[in-house]
Structure 1
Amino acid sequence: MASYPTAHTTDIENPRLRLLNKIKNGEFPLMTFMALPSVRIAQIIALTGVDGIIIDCEHGHIGDDAMHNSVAAISSLGVSPVIRIRGPAHDIIKRALDTGAHGIMVPQINNAEEAQQIVASSKFPPQGVRGQGSAFPAIGHGLTTPEYMKTANETILTMIQIETRMGVENVDAICAVPGVDVVFIGPNDLAQSLLGYTPARGDEPEFVAAVDKIIAAAKKHGKWAARMVNNGSTAKEARKRYDTVAITGDTKAIQNWYISEFEVARSS
């Protein structure tokens, strides 16, 4: 067990931290992914009623400049920006958190050692090895820099993704790592790793067993469980088992709307 407060146990109350506040209160916050590098896209999505926006720096078309601008735009509108980084390297985690993000998401975690490294890079001493030298992160939390440094370790959400066969095999040890807050299932990559194809139908026995194992490990170790879903109806169904979900993303939302409306326009 952790000997220091985490996002699960903190008694710090900051109304700016919408995602943390809702998930702690069991309110099933809704997230979505953002892959397009635009302040205006960030603002448009933030005004939809979403609770958290995952700025996708792994697969999205988003570099450092757009990452900073998106975090500022999203947090200023009362929504929580989370950055999905491209890998678990210390400098990448530091760079993402220095934007003022309310959390980070790290893809393809395979073992407890990787999870421990992520937690260490995410927290200031004595709990971790994160360095301080920027005025920017406090802004996204609506705090002064000293206030931010005192509270960041226990209010920033550290999310790790389980989306490989090895990650599933080691999921119990991964979920036991103190400081891991959210265990997020990446269903497409998980299906690719387990079954050799995507998208999964979702009813394949090996895929279902892996999802069950991940959720059970998260619950056993007191972590929040999350996943990506395709639409509102599947998000609603996910309330039974998950603490939060991400409903697709900006590129799919735009494309799907146009496709469906063009089909209507061309129908007889």
Structure 2
Amino acid sequence: MPTCVLPFVHSFKPLLQPGAALRLIWLSLGSTALAEVAAQAAPSAVVLDLQHGLWERTTLEAAAGIAGAQVPVIARTADLSPAAIASALDAGAAAVMAPLVETADDARALVAAGRYPPLGRRSGGGLRPLLRGGAAMRAGDAQVALGAMIETALGVENAAAICATEGLDFIFIGTGDLALSMPDATPRQVKACCARLRRTAHAHGLPCGLFTHDAVAARQALAEGYEMVVVASDIGLALSGFTHAMRDSQR
């Protein structure tokens, strides 16, 4: 096998352009079959939620391979640890989205864990990277996209320092956790906070994504200037479909 072949088929990093409109499908249920179906819908990328989702290492590997043959795969890592970040990339994810980044130190730790030396401290290994060899690891390193999730009040406070971190490729706002960390804020105030984060990211040359719950909210967020949105999630679609079916059966 040629060593120039990357550990993933489709890169996400080249899509991160100013004015981009990237539509993501978010998967939490741990189903490789759903990952394959989602990829057939041709989203900009599929997100595998390893923090709150039901993914295990073997299903992660399978989903990254199956869905990744069609579209870029983003792994929302379980946490900020080097092991969580490296295992997601070793599985063949084209990008990682690390949760709960609250400080510049957190952002620097993310970059260090996501890059091979001399840029970082990621260890060489994993089935897919090793199959393709050391040259492919180096080539893949330049194509991996690293994203920081800002989703707490402390993260908002430190947003400028986070966004100034060298090696970050994008910012993604976790609206649910952000609202939880601001219990006294109104929805309007949370939305204004997200807008400030978007402007901060853009001021540092970084595209900014927003977690949205459906296609309507996603369309509105794109109109407001966010580059990445969630158009659908497997849990949301399943719940909506079952609810509508029950309602329709009683008419």
Q: Same fold (TM over 0.5)?
A: yes
What SS is found at the alignment partner of 1:73?
helix
State the 1:20 CA deviation. Answer: 3.0
State the 1:14 CA deviation. Answer: 11
Residue 208 of structure 2, aligned match among 211, 225, 234 = 225
What SS is found at the alignment partner of 2:211?
strand
The alignment status of 1:23 with 2:6, answered yes or no, reads no
Residue 181 of structure 1, aligned match among 144, 160, 169 = 169
- Aligned partners of 2:99, 2:152: CA distance in 1, in Å? 10
Q: Output aligned runs, 1:104-119, within 5 Å.
A: 104-119=96-111
**Does the CA-based 8 Å contact 1:183-1:226 persist in structure 2?**
yes
The alignment status of 1:155 with 2:143, answered yes or no, reads yes
The alignment status of 1:239 with 2:232, answered yes or no, reads no
User: What is the match of residue 35 of structure 2?
Assistant: 42
What SS is found at the alignment partner of 2:47?
strand
How many matched pairs?
Answer: 245
- Aligned partners of 1:102, 1:137: CA distance in 2, in Å? 12
For structure 1, which segment, 125-134 or 258-267, has the greater mean C-alpha deviation from structure 2 after superposition?
258-267
What SS is found at the alignment partner of 1:159?
strand
**Does the CA-based 8 Å contact 2:21-2:227 persist in structure 1?**
yes
Q: Which amino acid aligns with 2:248?
A: V
Q: Which amino acid aligns with 1:85?
A: T
**Does the CA-based 8 Å contact 2:100-2:150 persist in structure 1?**
yes
User: What is the match of residue 86 of structure 1?
Assistant: 78
TM-score (norm 1): 0.84
User: What is the match of residue 171 of structure 1?
Assistant: 159
The alignment status of 1:100 with 2:85, answered yes or no, reads no
Q: Which runs of 5+ in 1 are unaligned?
A: 1-12
- Aligned partners of 1:136, 1:14: CA distance in 2, in Å? 5
Q: Which amino acid aligns with 1:232?
A: A
Q: Which runs of 5+ in 2 are unaligned?
A: 1-5
User: What is the match of residue 187 of structure 2?
Assistant: 202
State the 1:44 CA deviation. Answer: 1.1
What SS is found at the alignment partner of 2:125?
coil
**Does the CA-based 8 Å contact 1:53-1:81 persist in structure 2?**
yes
What SS is found at the alignment partner of 2:182?
helix
